[in-house]
Structure 1
Amino acid sequence: MSSSRFMITVIGIDKVGIVAGITQVMAQYNVNIVDISQTIMDDLFTMIMLAQVKDESFDLSAFQQAMSEKGSELGVEVKVQHEDVFRFMHRI
């Protein structure tokens, strides 16, 4: 893989440390944030990121698992999808 982009969505009840926890895992896997949007509606936290990795040996399954585990630890739902899959699933 020469360069891949991913959509990362995070949804849950707002609390301190969500962004820090999620981006910590991203840094461990050398995943860069290309674009980010984050909103809090009442007490509901939502964040969507376009992220990119340039590592030839990047293990998407391991990254998805690590993000899911961090989400469980933080009490939020985290989904990681390849950009092409995300766009296909959300087309009109």
Structure 2
Amino acid sequence: MRAILTVLGEDKIGIVAGVSQKLQELNINILDITQTIMEQNFTMMMMVDLSEATVDISVAQARFNFLASELGVEIRLQREELFQAMHQL
């Protein structure tokens, strides 16, 4: 199963490292990644593969919620089809 992981917040050291480390801990593979920094705003979007994940998507989101509070950012993990449906015109 593929999902979209988005990260939004104030730019600071350690965001990419923290998110990447959590993905590794959960055995979630990064398929594609893009990031942008606009002034002090950090945005990152990843397409990830959860087929080998050690937890289901709801548990993974809970772990990312905890990480988000530590990093001071917003992290959202959504199934690819849900993400696409929410962003169609």
Question: Structure 1 unaligned runs (5+)?
Answer: none
Residue type of the alignment partner of 2:79: H
> What residue in structure 2 maps to residue 90 of structure 1?
87
Q: Residue 12 of structure 2: SS of its match in structure 1?
A: coil
User: Hey, what's the Cα distance between the residues in 2 that align with 1:37 and 1:71?
Assistant: 18
Q: Which deviates more, 52-61 or 78-87?
A: 52-61
Equivalent residue in structure 2 for 1:46, among 43, 48, 51: 43
For this pair of structures, how many residues does the alignment match?
Answer: 89
Q: Note if 1:20 corresponds to 2:17.
A: yes
Scaled by the length of structure 2, the TM-score of the pair is 0.95
Query: Is residue 63 of structure 1 aligned with residue 82 of structure 2?
Result: no
Q: In the aligned structure 1, how far is the partner of 2:28 from the partner of 2:8?
A: 20
TM-score (norm 1): 0.92
* SS of structure 1 residue aligned to 2:84: helix
Q: Which runs of 5+ in 2 are unaligned?
A: none
- What SS does the aligned partner of 1:21 have? helix
C-alpha separation in 1, matches of 2:52 and 2:21: 17
Percent of matched pairs sharing the same residue: 44
Residue 7 (structure 1) aligned to one of 1, 4, 11: 4
Deviation at 1:59, TM superposition (A): 1.4
Aligned to 2:34: 37
Root mean square deviation of aligned Cα: 1.2
